[in-house]
Amino acid sequence: MNDENYLEIQHLSKHFATRTKKQVLIAVNDVSLRFPKGKTLGLIGESGSGKSTIGRCILRLTEPTQGKILCEGKDLARLKEKEFRKQWRPRMQMVFQDPFDSLNPRMNIRSLLLEPIRHAGTLNGRDPDKVVEELLRKVKLDPEVATAYRHQLTPGQQQRVGIARAIATSPAFLVLDEPISLLDISVRAEIMRILYEIQEKEGLTYLFISHDLSTVQDFCHHVAVMYLGRIVETGTVEQVFGHPAHPYSKALLQSVLYPDPQKRHQPLQLSGEIPSPIDTPAGCPLHTRCPRATEKCKNTVQAFQDIGGGHLVACMEVSGGKQDEAI
- Residues 6 or more apart from 139 whose CB is under 8 A from it? 160, 161, 163, 164, 194
**Displacement of CA 5 from its chain's centroid (Å):** 16
pLDDT in tens, 195-218: 999 999 999 999 999 999 999 999
Distance in angstroms (rounded) separating the CA atoms of residues 98 and 89: 20
At residue 2, does pLDDT exceed 50? no
pLDDT at 255: 65
Q: What is the pTM of this model?
A: 0.93
pLDDT at 22: 81
Domain assignments of the chain as residue spans, ordered by start: 36-63+79-220, 230-319
pLDDT in tens, 5-41: 999 999 999 999 988 778 999 999 999 999 999 999 9
pLDDT in tens, 140-184: 999 999 999 999 999 999 999 999 999 999 999 999 999 999 999
At residue 320, does pLDDT exceed 70? no
Judged by average pLDDT, the poorest of 129-143, 256-270, 282-296 is 256-270
Strand locations in the chain, DSSP E? 5-17, 24-36, 40-44, 66-71, 74-75, 92-95, 173-177, 205-209, 222-227, 230-236, 305-306, 312-313
Return the number of other C-beta atoms located less than 10 Å from residue 20's C-beta. Answer: 6
pLDDT in tens, 38-91: 999 999 999 999 999 999 999 999 999 999 999 999 999 999 999 999 999 999
Under CATH, which architecture does the 36-63+79-220 domain have?
Answer: 3-Layer(aba) Sandwich (3.40)
- pLDDT class of 266 with cuts at 50, 70, 90: low
